[in-house]
Every structure is written in structure tokens, then in C-alpha cells.
Amino acid sequence: MKYKQLGKTGLLVSEICFGTMTFGAEANKNESIKMFNIAKDAGINLFDCANKYSDGEAEIILAEAIKDCRDEVIITTKAGSKVGNGINDLGTSRKHLMLELEKSLKRLNTDYIDIYFLHYFDSYTSIESSMRFFDDAIKQGKILYSGVSNWAAWQIMKSIHISKTNFLNSIDCIQPMYSLIKRQAEVEILPLANDEKLGVMSYSPIGSGVLTGKYIQNNSELDIRLNNKNYYKQRYTNEIYTQTVERFCEFAKNNNYEPAALAISWACNHPDITSSIIGARNVEQLKSNLNCLNIEMTKELRDEISALSIQPSPAHDRLEEILDEKNKLRF
């Protein structure tokens, strides 16, 4: 296992993070704790959770898993998603975040959370209010570091500016989606993270299973995410993605790679990615995904794989400026 600096925090984190979204859902308590132990034994020290996962059950199971090794591991959780029937049971208002932080601390049976994320951008709450909440929670010792998930680059940069100009603790980490079929983060988010020295924990490196190739054929009867969750269908139903997956799976087969492991290795080896989050429904799936650690992702191999998908356009849309560095002129 390789370990990388998480932005400017001084923390060293494993290049693979284990996500616990399946805890209490597809995986029962016993299976979840088995997977946690396998992940930890493989060298993973970063575990990602959220208050929303399995209606809080994921945090309760994670608490059981970490009870004998709490200070050895780095735990993240999130708030902002809808978690109840009340009209204020969502968002990033100070009231909601305060209540959810206390609930998460209790469920996780811990005095502190290493990294606390805002799960989504809340256009109804001022960024300054959310950043002041982070600053207060850090000063109280309830969280050590803060982060945002699913935010656009301008939103991230605005939060940094607000924090700096108001002498508040600024965010330390971001959590964008990133895979061979979802490369938008390459345009502005990852360059921003590099420039601001932010830790990057990317998620869905296999595109919620799409890059395994199991969705290429019609599997409408299977008990899988794309059939059970409409938003997954909306996210990944695209003919261009299908063509990319077909090319990628053929490449993996011809070169004796497991598609899932190869997709994870490709994602986590982007130079601006600190750690890529993997998940699993069971022990067998986790062990298969961990084979990504055995792949030597050379620059040549990564370039070959990258060529199988469409590189997103630059933020300024000047395609003619995508040139090799040696051909660029600086005026």
C-alpha cells in the first residue's frame, strides 16, 4: 500500500479508501466488519462514511469495527443529505449540521471525526455560515479537518476565499466523482486542488459497477444499482459511456486484467488524486477490487487507458490550446 499526504493536513492516508455505503444495506453487520478487517489488513487506514448511509446504520457498524483501533484509522462522515421527514432535515444550515454532527459522534461512538464533509452544495445556505460552523466545530475538537463533496470548482474556491478573508479554518479536502467515464473533475476541480494543496478523495472509480462490463448486456432483472436506483440510471445511461466500457473491457481482457481492478488503479493513479474510494457488497468483491494494488500503472499504461474514453474539453473551450508542454509558448 502506498500512502500520500492529504493536502496540507500532515496526514498520511492510504491511496485506497474503503467506503462503507454498503454497511447495513447490501452487507450485514458481520460481513461489513469482515470487510473492514480485510481492508485494514491490506494497509487501508482511511474509511469513508455518511450519516445517510443505511439511515445511520453504517456509522453504527463502523463504530463497532473501529472500537479497538480508533486512533489508528482516519474516519470521515458527511451531512447535508435528507435524513428525515422534517422540513429542515437536510441542507447545510448551522442548525442541521450541528444536530447531525452530534448524532454522528454518538453513532460512531467517538469524541472526534477526522474529516467532516458537506455532502452536497446547498444553494439556500450561505457558504460563510457553513464555513463558520466548520471553524467552530474544529475549535471545539469535534472535527479535525473539513471537506466538501460534489461541489463545483467555483463553489470550492469561493469557500476558500470566504474562509481566508474571515480568518476561518478553510476546507482541507474535497470529494469529487472520478472514473474513466466521468472525467469532468480533470477540467477545473483537480487543477484547483493541486493549486490550493487540497486533499482529494475521489469516489466511484468503477462508475458504480459500469466499468466492470456487467451492464453492457441487458440485465434489467438483476438486483443491481442501475436497476434499483433511478439516479444511477440517469448518471450512467449514455451511449458514449457504453462504447467506452466496451473498449475498456476488451482492453482489460486482452491484457489479462480484471476490469474493476484496472479501473480503480487508473483512477487512483491520477497525480492529483490522494485516495480513491472503493466499496464492496461482500468479502469476495472487496478482495477482487483490492487486486488494483497489484497493478503497476505506468504512464504508458495510463495513457493507453485514457485514450479509450473522451477527454473533456478545457474550461475555456479553446481546444487548439491542448498541446504538449514543449510546444507551448509563454508570452
Enzyme catalytic residues: 53
Dihedral angle sign, alpha carbons of residues 123, 126, 127, 129: negative
67, three cell numbers: 472500537
CB 292 within 8 A of CB 262: yes
Whole-angstrom distance, CA of residue 106 vs CA of residue 314: 44
CB 173 within 8 A of CB 200: yes
**What does the H/E/C string look like for 142-199?**
CEEEEEEECCCHHHHHHHHHHHHHCCCCCCCEEECECECCECHHHCCHHHHHHHHCCE
Q: Which amino acid is at 259?
A: P
- The distance of Cα 102 from the centroid of its chain, to the nearest Å, equals 23
Whole-angstrom distance, CA of residue 217 vs CA of residue 226: 13
Whole-angstrom distance, CA of residue 274 vs CA of residue 17: 10
